Amino acid sequence: MATWSAPGKVFLFGEHAVVYDKPGLAMAIKPRVLVSVRRHRHPAPAKSPYIAQCFRELGVTGSVYVSSQMPSSAGLGSSAAVTVATLSAANDEFRLGLEREEIAGIAHRVEQAVQKGRASPTDTYVSTMGGLVLIMDGARRRVPPVNLNLVVGNTQVSHSTSRMVELVAEERAARPAVIYPILDAIGALTLEGVRKLEDPKTLGKLMDTNHALLDAIGVGHPALTKLVLAARAAGAFGAKTTGAGGGGCMIALSPKTGKNRIAGALDGAGGRAFVTSLDTVGARKEHDV
Ligand code: PMV
């Protein structure tokens, strides 16, 4: 049996704008998803379509045990983490000799197949490689790691990423003169954010601006606004929606001390909060569970 884990992710900047080839910055975060794979000729059918597709892609059969501390369907990349950890564990168990880059590529294909072509390579790449990843000019590259104190707030309002992407496409088609420059500005914020990673006060301000621009393109939600305002009032340097919006999660950038106060404020405002930080490792082998 082989056990591997893979982290989730948040967008620090640039969600939606990346769909239109503008820059974005994503970050691998704790918690992780753990997956054990055991060689098995006649395994029970996989419970998750992602896992079933992983085995189809690799042309092997095995039984799988998943342990996840990550909320699913919240925009934190849990399906990508399950996919990456499954592929990594199967690669190990069956000695397939796949490199990390190849696993990221196959993981993206798996998500594409399950999500009917609507999956960007961001989640699977970030989960495989870990760290901070700048998406730019059709490529993804890691930027030097920085220790950011983040608090994630889950509105627990369910949302559909593909619906939100569609909504932005409709807005953009209906009001190009308004929406095009906003998407450009979001891309510019990403690049400014990369330059200011070591300056949390400025970074927080940039996050606030990014949040306002996400609202402006129509992916806001009252529950997100409530959590973002609560985080700022509790001392966050800045706060924004992360991911597709319309529900799902927000992130707050916290001073070194004060993370728990912000998390408490988010819980008090009706969210479910957890403190997190950068995961620099990506997919990794674990002791068998
Ligand atoms: O909700 P999430 O975390 O899957 O983020 C979606 C991010 C978008 O930019 C809206 C879409 C994408 O594929 O990049």
| Sequence ranges of the domains in the chain | 2-143, 150-276
What pLDDT score was predicted for residue 117?
75
Q: Ligand 1 in contact with 140 (CB < 6 A)?
A: no
The CATH T-level fold of domain 2-143 is Ribosomal Protein S5; domain 2 (3.30.230)
Q: What is the pLDDT of residues 159-201, one digit of tens each?
A: 888 899 999 999 999 999 999 999 999 999 999 999 999 999 9
Q: What is the model's pLDDT at position 289? A: 62
Q: How confident is the model at residue 140 (pLDDT cuts 50, 70, 90)?
A: very high
Q: Which of 13, 158, 165, 170 to mutate to test the pocket of ligand 1 (most atoms within 8 A of CB)?
A: 165
Query: Does residue 16's CB lie within 6 angstroms of at least one atom of ligand 1?
Result: yes
Q: For position 72, what pLDDT does the model report?
A: 82
What is the 95 CA–ligand 1 centroid distance (Å)?
A: 33
**pLDDT tens track for 224-267:** 999 999 999 999 999 999 999 999 999 999 999 999 999 999 99
Q: Is pLDDT of 90 > 90?
A: yes
Alpha carbon nearest to ligand 1 atom 12, residue? 120
Q: Kindly report the average pLDDT of the chain as a whole number.
A: 95
What pLDDT, on a 0 to 100 scale, did the predictor assign at position 285? Answer: 98
pLDDT band with cut points at 50, 70 and 90 for residue 118 = confident
Q: In angstroms, what is the span from residue 36 Cα to ligand 1's centroid?
A: 27
User: Which residues pair with residue 132 across a beta bridge?
Assistant: 27, 143
User: Measured from the CA of 76, which atom of ligand 1 is nearest?
Assistant: 3
In the chain, % of residues over pLDDT 70? 99
- Does residue 58 register a pLDDT over 80? yes
Q: Which pLDDT value is given to residue 288?
A: 67
Q: Please, what is the Cα angle at 90 between 86 and 94, to 5 degrees?
A: 180
DSSP states along 137-158: TTEEEEE------EEEEE----
Listed as own residue / partner, the contacts of 209-214 with beta carbons closer than 8 Å and 24 or more positions apart are 210/13, 210/14, 210/186, 210/240, 211/238, 211/239, 211/240, 211/241, 211/250, 213/182, 213/185, 213/186, 213/189, 214/15, 214/16, 214/186, 214/240, 214/241, 214/245
What pLDDT is stored for residue 206 in this prediction? 98
What is the pLDDT, as a whole number, of residue 27? Answer: 97
C-alpha 235 chain-centroid distance: 24
Q: Any idea which residues carry the catalytic annotation?
A: 123
CA of 178 to the centre of ligand 1 (A): 21
User: What token pair was written down for 61?
Assistant: 């059969």
Ligand 1 touching residue 126 (CB < 6 A) = no
| 165-174 long-range Cβ contacts below 8 angstroms, 24+ apart | 165/16, 165/19, 165/118, 165/244, 167/218, 167/219, 167/246, 168/16, 168/19, 168/217, 168/218, 168/219, 171/217, 171/218, 172/20, 172/217
How confident is the model at residue 69, as a pLDDT? Answer: 85
Q: Is the pLDDT of residue 98 over 70?
A: yes
**pLDDT for 21:** 92
> What is the H or E stretch that residue 24 is in?
strand 24-39
Q: Is 250 in the pocket of ligand 1 (CB under 6 A)?
A: no
Task: Please give the distance, rounded to the nearest whole angstrom, from the Cα atom of residue 244 to the centre of ligand 1.
Answer: 5
| pLDDT exceeds 90 at position 120 | no
Which residues are CB-contacts of 254 (< 8 A; sequence separation ≥ 6)? 149, 150, 151, 235, 236, 237, 262, 275
Residue 138 has pLDDT above 90, yes or no: no
Ligand 1 atom index nearest CA of 248: 1
Give the residue whose CA is nearest to atom 11 of ligand 1: 16
Q: What are phi and psi of 233, to 5 degrees?
A: -65, -25
Over residues 120-130, the mean pLDDT reads: 94
Q: From the CB of residue 175, how many other CB atoms can be counted at a distance below 10 Å?
A: 13
Residue with token string 């104190």: 149
Question: Is the bond preceding 31 in cis, omega lying within 30 degrees of 0?
Answer: yes
* Rounded CA separation 8/104 (Å): 14
Q: Which superfamily does CATH assign the domain made up of 150-276 to?
A: GHMP kinase, C-terminal domain (3.30.70.890)
Span from the CA of 144 to the centroid of ligand 1 (angstroms): 23
**Does ligand 1 come within 6 angstroms of the Cβ of 121?**
no
Query: What integer is the mean pLDDT of 53-72?
Result: 93
Q: Burial, 142: exposed, middle or buried (Cβ in 10 Å; 0-12, 13-18, 19+)?
A: middle
Lowest mean pLDDT among 83-92, 109-118, 197-206: 109-118
- Determine the pLDDT at residue 242: 97
